[in-house]
Chain A
Amino acid sequence: MRVCLVCQNIDCKSRGSEQLMKEFQKRVAARGLTDVEVKPYMCFGACQEGPNIVLYPEKNWYAAVKVEDLDEITDHLAGGPHVQRLDTIDSALKELIYQLLDTGIL
């Protein structure tokens, strides 16, 4: 199972991350991606660049995601290209969060 974690800390919620997650779930379902689960995650520590979506276990991180970006991210999940312009998080933070996710706290 692949997961798409959408951060839901207070900053990102105030930027619409709850709605973003619902829209993302609809698109993933519409595309028939049954091996993908879109679910909430407390926080990736990148609130200033939120809302964030982290794809795991493949470890892709999309920042400052808007509803308009979701189709491209869904394409990526279905085997399309990586969405380079949303990949803006610095590698040290990525490494910290990926290591945390590797411990199993999803």
Chain B
Amino acid sequence: MKEYRARGGYEALARFIKSSPEEIIRQITDAGLRGRGGAGFPTGKKWSFTRAAPEQPRYLILNGGEDEPGSKKDRVLMENLPHLIIEGVILAGYAIGAVKAYLYINANYQAATKNITDALADSKAAGHWGQNILGSNFSLDIELTPAPHNYVAGEDTAALEVIEGKKAWPRQKPPFPVTVGLFGKPTAVNNVETLANVAPILLRGPDGYRKFGTPDSPGTMIFSLNEDVNCPGVYELPFGTPLRYLIEHCGGGIKGGKKIKAIMPAAPSAAYLSPDKLDTPLEPNAMRAAGSGLGCGVVQLVGEGTCIVEEVLRMADFFTAESCGQCPACRMETNTLSMLMKKVQQGQGGQPILEQFGKVLAFNKGKGFCNLIAMPGPPIESALKLFPADFAAHLATGKCPAN
């Protein structure tokens, strides 16, 4: 905590606990902060909706479920900067007028849980949370809840269910948590990285924050690179940085000196990009225009010599395994896609089988409570479009052209 305070830690709290919650919301809105959990919803808007909801009490949830395969950013933040997260939680709690904040942290993250627990004790002793924070009228209780580590447990409404003591099953939306959330009360669910941005924004002001990034996506984002590059890790870059910079400069390029065959900029649920899109800016709108998305910033590479059929089969099976099973359409879709892709891999079904993927996806479009049902589509459909030769080879020989 000493170290954090030496760098301006808890100054934003000391300053803004004396101003109004509305002022905090205004600054966060002006800064243009968007959620970093994948959906990119404007944080200021989420807070003002929660604050405006008539029901009492209100709750805040720090979503540290981080179940996307390959995502490490929230873990790194919680392990290394626990006070930054806690200060963000307290400020967010004050902004929405919460009585209690739940820190929902991936149960596998032992070091993060320990460091957050220790930091919570220190910051409570310093009067930063609990009754009458820093002598103000605002009180906030904070409690830690371990998050199950299956994929849908990181979905915001699944987090509500777990904290209520139930299975990690997403709820049907609407109503959205901002009006009917935890225990039926207004709740803001914010990702760890999102809340890590709050104190720095309040200290520097919206203009200071907007010195980084693009007008529509101000600030920075943390990207996760995995074993497919020479230097795996998490890298914080301003929005708008070219994808190439992340892969080549930060990641040291693809492992083994291979050529890049495809890029998945928001694993596991984005569309593949071909290598000619390497200069696309890391920014949600630009990624959408290129045909993909940015999600929560897990960037994966497929090297030349890797068969895309094997890759998408793995993904299809991942979604089948991770579908929580409560929505019939999601079970139908994910299972059918897996079965079809397995047939393709084994070289069965002939060319007509390739036409079935789009039909199954179209049939299930818009169904299901959560977004999982929409996730297998982009990787599969983009793979079919970009790499028809891989599919044709599997169908012709039942073997992988890469092996």
A: residues with CB less than 8 A from B are 9-11, 42-45, 47, 93, 96, 99-100, 102-105
How far is A28 from B339 in the complex, measured between Cα atoms in Å? 27
Contacts of B335 in A (CB 8 A): 42-43
Stretch from B100-108, B189-197, B280-288, B359-367 at the A interface: B359-367
> Is B185 part of the contact surface with A, judged by Cβ < 8 Å?
no
Q: Are A45 and B356 in contact (CB under 8 A)?
A: no
Sample of 14 further A-B pairs with CB below 8 A, known A42-B336, A103-B343: A9-B328, A9-B332, A10-B331, A11-B328, A43-B328, A45-B329, A47-B328, A93-B363, A99-B352, A100-B340, A102-B352, A104-B343, A104-B349, A105-B340
Contact mask for chain B residues 307-349; partner A; CB cutoff 8 A; 1 contact, 0 none: 0000000000000000001101101100110011001000011
> Is B402 part of the contact surface with A, judged by Cβ < 8 Å?
no
Q: Are B363 and A96 in contact (CB under 8 A)?
A: yes
- Nearest Cβ distance between residue B156 and chain A, in whole angstroms? 23
Contacts of A100 in B (CB 8 A): 336, 340, 356, 359-360
- By Cβ-Cβ distance, the 3 closest A-B pairs, closest first, are A43-B332, A103-B349, A105-B339
Contacts of B336 in A (CB 8 A): 42-43, 100, 105
> Is B389 part of the contact surface with A, judged by Cβ < 8 Å?
no
Q: Are A45 and B332 in contact (CB under 8 A)?
A: yes
What's the A-B contact tally at a CB cutoff of 8 Å?
53
Residue tally, chain B, CB below 8 Å to A: 21
Chain B residue at minimal CB-CB distance from A42: B335
User: Which residue, of A11, A43, A96, has the highest number of chain B Cβ atoms within 10 A?
Assistant: A43
> Is B111 part of the contact surface with A, judged by Cβ < 8 Å?
no
Contacts of B353 in A (CB 8 A): 103-104
User: Which residue, of B336, B340, B343, B349, has the highest number of chain A Cβ atoms within 10 A?
Assistant: B336
Interface of B is mostly: helix
Task: Choose from A42, A102, A104 the contact partner of B332 (Cβ within 8 Å).
Answer: A42
How far is A103 from B352 in the complex, measured between Cα atoms in Å? 7
28 contacting pairs across A/B (C-beta < 8 A) = A9-B328, A9-B331, A9-B332, A11-B328, A42-B331, A42-B332, A42-B335, A43-B328, A43-B331, A44-B332, A45-B363, A45-B364, A47-B328, A47-B329, A99-B352, A99-B356, A100-B340, A100-B356, A100-B360, A102-B352, A103-B343, A103-B348, A103-B353, A103-B356, A104-B348, A105-B336, A105-B339, A105-B343
- Nearest Cβ distance between residue B358 and chain A, in whole angstroms? 11
Chain A residue at minimal CB-CB distance from B334: A42
Contact mask for chain B residues 144-179; partner A; CB cutoff 8 A; 1 contact, 0 none: 000000000000000000000000000000000000
B: residues with CB less than 8 A from A are 325-326, 328-329, 331-332, 335-336, 339-340, 343, 348-349, 352-353, 355-356, 359-360, 363-364
- Nearest Cβ distance between residue A14 and chain B, in whole angstroms? 10
- Nearest Cβ distance between residue A81 and chain B, in whole angstroms? 31
Chain B residue at minimal CB-CB distance from A92: B363
Q: Are B325 and A10 in contact (CB under 8 A)?
A: yes
Contacts of B329 in A (CB 8 A): 45, 47
How far is A16 from B377 in the complex, measured between Cα atoms in Å? 32
Contacts of A42 in B (CB 8 A): 331-332, 335-336
Contacts of B349 in A (CB 8 A): 103-104
User: Which residue, of A44, A93, A104, has the highest number of chain B Cβ atoms within 10 A?
Assistant: A104
How far is A11 from B332 in the complex, measured between Cα atoms in Å? 11
How far is A55 from B303 in the complex, measured between Cα atoms in Å? 44
- Nearest Cβ distance between residue A10 and chain B, in whole angstroms? 6
Contacts of B363 in A (CB 8 A): 45, 93, 96
How far is A26 from B269 in the complex, measured between Cα atoms in Å? 44
Contacts of A102 in B (CB 8 A): 352
- Nearest Cβ distance between residue A46 and chain B, in whole angstroms? 10
- Nearest Cβ distance between residue A51 and chain B, in whole angstroms? 12
Chain B residue at minimal CB-CB distance from A99: B356
Q: Are B326 and A10 in contact (CB under 8 A)?
A: yes
- Nearest Cβ distance between residue A69 and chain B, in whole angstroms? 22
How far is A105 from B346 in the complex, measured between Cα atoms in Å? 12
How far is A47 from B336 in the complex, measured between Cα atoms in Å? 15
Contacts of A96 in B (CB 8 A): 359-360, 363
Chain A residue at minimal CB-CB distance from B339: A105
Contacts of A11 in B (CB 8 A): 328
How far is A105 from B329 in the complex, measured between Cα atoms in Å? 17
How far is A100 from B332 in the complex, measured between Cα atoms in Å? 12
Task: Choose from A9, A47, A103 the contact partner of B340 (Cβ within 8 Å).
Answer: A103
How far is A93 from B355 in the complex, measured between Cα atoms in Å? 15
